[in-house]
Amino acid sequence: MKVFISGASGLVGGNCLKHFTEMGWNVVGSYFSFQTDDTVFYDTLHPEHDMNFDVAGFAPDVIVHCGALTHVDLCETNVQESYDKTVQSTLNLITLAKQCNARMVYISTDYVFDGVNGPYREDAPVNPLSVYARHKLEAEQAVLAALPDALALRVTNVYGDELRGKNFIARIIDQCKNNQKLTLKLPYDQYASPANAWDIARAMFVLLRDNKAGIYHIGSTDYLNRVELALRVLSYFPSAEYDLIPLSTTQLNQPAARPLLGGFVKAKFSAEYPDFLFGNIDSYMKKVLAGIEDVV
């Protein structure tokens, strides 16, 4: 299998690049703004850029799109930038996928839902609340409409091994390891099902291997709010100093609306792969503290 990954210097893309390569697939991963040793340059907004990797020449069987503008509040006030980096980039990769006769994988989110009746199954009605959410849904629907054999994997609260350590759990771990005091103002009424990027990569691999298509919800065995998530991680650092201030979403007054009861019921994936074992925050923390953390 030949796979091109857009956004492979990020959390999900980096884990996919590592896992697919270890499983023997021929994989090329790209970066745009953050270069790594094992990625090539590709600008999804400018397909004719003279520095772009020759994807058509590589002739991938699959194009995985992991890039997007994920700063939810920034999207709310920068609508055109959000559209360009989430929707237009996806439309350009759809054109490329058609040119290469390749399948496509799109990474989506639980923000396509309004958070009233979560956690959600794949067939639940969508109702995005923010600019970011609307653009993610628009891109997801474009992929599925244009490429009948495409996959859309909805994920949320992604954590795991990452070179830059940008994800929420990684930042807490880093501060605790460096004996820095943490001040955390977190919502107690926003619930989700965090997923390890390594599990997302593993799940994507089996779905691609078995020629699956359509929407799949991917999540771990955890379902908790942001306060509980932070406390779960902090419990592994008993000497950590921190001020944790639980607030309601209303009190936080974030520019972009959030789904409160988000997250997923992954019954579809589990029914098709009943022996697939997902990790959780505890298993990840034990691995990190055991000193076997891999930097992607």
How many Cβ atoms are within 10 Å of 77's Cβ, its own excluded?
11
The predicted pLDDT at position 163 comes to 80
Length of the chain: 296
Question: Quick one: average pLDDT of 168-173?
Answer: 92
pLDDT digits (tens, 9 = 90+) for 122-146: 999 999 999 999 999 999 999 999 9
- Mean pLDDT value of segment 14-21: 97
Identify which of 101, 49, 50, 91 has the alpha carbon closest to the alpha carbon of residue 67: 91
- State pLDDT tens for residues 88-111: 999 999 999 999 999 999 999 999
**94 or 9: whose pLDDT is higher?**
94
Helix (H, G, I), strand (E, B) or coil at 107: strand
User: What is the overall mean pLDDT for the chain?
Assistant: 94
Of the chain, the percentage scoring pLDDT greater than 70 comes to: 98
Q: What is the pLDDT of residues 231-246, one digit of tens each?
A: 999 999 999 999 999 9
* pTM, 2 dp: 0.94
User: 180 pLDDT band (50/70/90 cuts)?
Assistant: very high
Quickly count: other Cβ atoms within 10 Å of residue 8's Cβ.
Answer: 29
∠ at Cα 263 (258, 265), nearest 5°?
155
User: Could you tell me the CA-to-CA distances from 262 to 26, 78, 97, 197, 268 in Å, in that order?
Assistant: 35, 24, 31, 18, 17
Rounded Cα–Cα distance for residues 219 and 211 (Å): 20
pLDDT digits (tens, 9 = 90+) for 249-261: 999 999 999 999 9
Q: Are 36 and 163 in contact (CB under 8 A)?
A: yes
Residues 6+ apart with CB under 8 A from 59: 2, 100
Checking if the pLDDT of 296 tops 50, the result is no
* List of domains in the chain: 2-162+192-224+259-284 (3.40.50.720)
